[in-house]
Amino acid sequence: MEFHVRIQACRQTVPFPSEARQQQGKKDYLCSLNEKTVIRAENIHKSFGNLEVLKGISLEISKGEIVSVVGASGAGKSTLLHILGTLDKPDLGTVNIDGSEISGLSEKSLSDFRNSKIGFVFQFHHLLPEFTALENICIPAYIAGNGKAEAHQKATELLDYLNLSERMHHKPSALSGGEQQRVAIARALINRPAVILADEPSGNLDSNSSVELHALFMKLRETFDQTFVIVTHNKDLAAMADRELRITDGLIKGGSVAENSAI
Ligand SMILES: Nc1ncnc2c1ncn2[C@@H]1O[C@H](COP(=O)(O)OP(=O)(O)OP(=O)(O)O)[C@@H](O)[C@H]1O
Ligand SMILES: [Mg+2]
């Protein structure tokens, strides 16, 4: 079986990097790709008490896109990301992720859906301190029902891809900030999510580590056609995205689905 990945920028089909390992008979779970449109949100409203934070946001995000979400502090960026990530519910409006209408899912289905379809990366890595890098990465795979051998194989492959193999048995406290964030990204990737939602992922990193992390997002998109929605105050990261969505007064500027769609 041949595995290929689409390089978004030039729309060429190129061999998957680990194809050689495939041909040696190694199973490579990273190769299976999702072909669908990823996020469609319509008319999202959200208030906290009297504070109307989101006032009717609509957007559409395609597979393989990197979209940044920017805006002043308090504009509602994290609120929107939490709603897109099914961590919070809108007061009004609909969210469709990878073809599933979120409002139709029960709590149990929603948590399974979230674990398998959405990867989260936050400003602070939120790794569990008592577990090693390898163990932290495996957790979403265990929750998804993978056995230990399967989860370890996936995590080991990701650690290798992220140049972290030598740090796999270290606990988070023994990792640098950049390494901790890469482990958090590996944890977000292990179930091959439809989208990675990142909230100020380089907000706690020095400038060199930030540049490396931003380059990693680009590489993951090129290699795996990974979709990202990234909330950021970092101008460089926002500029690297395919599109920048700016939240102002509870709306995305020109916030119709058509205007915010990739194509
Ligand atoms: N659970 C909550 N209860 C009450 N108010 C909230 C809650 N969550 C967010 N808010 C308020 O909603 C507004 C938007 O918050 P949000 O965290 O989305 O902003 P943000 O754009 O992510 O800001 P920042 O750039 O500072 O992270 C803020 O005024 C915040 O205080
Ligand atoms: Mg925020």
- Quote the ligand 2 centre to 77 CA distance (angstroms): 6
The confidence score (pLDDT) of residue 36 equals 74
Report the C-alpha gap between 150 and 236 in whole angstroms: 37
Give the residue, by CA position, lying nearest to ligand 1 atom 17.
78
Kind of pairing between the strands at 227-231 and 251-252? unpaired
Ligand 1: residues with CB < 6 A are 48, 51, 53, 71, 73-79
pTM: 0.84
Percentage of residues in the chain with pLDDT exceeding 90?
75
Ligand 1 atom index nearest CA of 71: 21
Q: Which CATH class is domain 4-253?
A: alpha beta
> For residue range 8-60, what is the model confidence (pLDDT) as tens digits?
322 233 333 333 334 443 334 444 434 578 999 999 999 999 999 999 999 99
Q: Which is higher by pLDDT, 35 or 252? A: 252
> Whole-angstrom Cα distance, residue 85 to residue 126?
16
How remote is the CA of residue 247 from the centroid of ligand 2, in Å? 12
- Candidates 78, 248, 251: which one to mutate for ligand 1, based on the most atoms within 8 Å of Cβ? 78
From the list 132, 172, 123, the residue with the least C-alpha distance to 156 is 132
pLDDT at residue 232 greater than cutoff 70: yes
Write down the pLDDT at residue 121: 93
Q: Are residues 128 and 106 in contact, defined by beta-carbon separation less than 8 angstroms?
A: no
Q: pLDDT at residue 102 above 80?
A: yes
- 47 forms bridges with which residues in the sheet? 52
Residue 255's pLDDT is what?
Answer: 37
C-alpha closest to that of 155 among 33, 30, 32: 30
What is the distance in A from the centroid of ligand 2 to the CA of 201? 11
Specify the residue with its C-alpha closest to ligand 1, atom 28: 74
**Nearest alpha-carbon partner for 228 in 121, 89, 82:** 121
pLDDT of residue 171: 97
Q: What is the pLDDT of residue 103?
A: 87
Residue nearest to atom 31 of ligand 1 (CA): 74
User: pLDDT at position 125, please?
Assistant: 83
Q: What is the pLDDT of residues 204-215, one digit of tens each?
A: 899 999 999 999
Q: Is pLDDT larger for residue 94 or for residue 7?
A: 94
Q: What is the mean pLDDT of residues 91-113?
A: 92
Calculate how far, in angstroms, residue 238's C-alpha sits from the geometric centre of ligand 1: 20
Q: What is the pLDDT of residue 253?
A: 77
Nearest CA to ligand 1 atom 29: 74
Structure tokens at 128: 């569990």
User: Which of 182, 137, 184, 185 has the alpha carbon at shortest distance from 164?
Assistant: 182
Which pLDDT does position 48 carry in this prediction? 97
pLDDT at 78 over 90: yes
In whole angstroms, give the CA distance from residue 23 to residue 263.
36
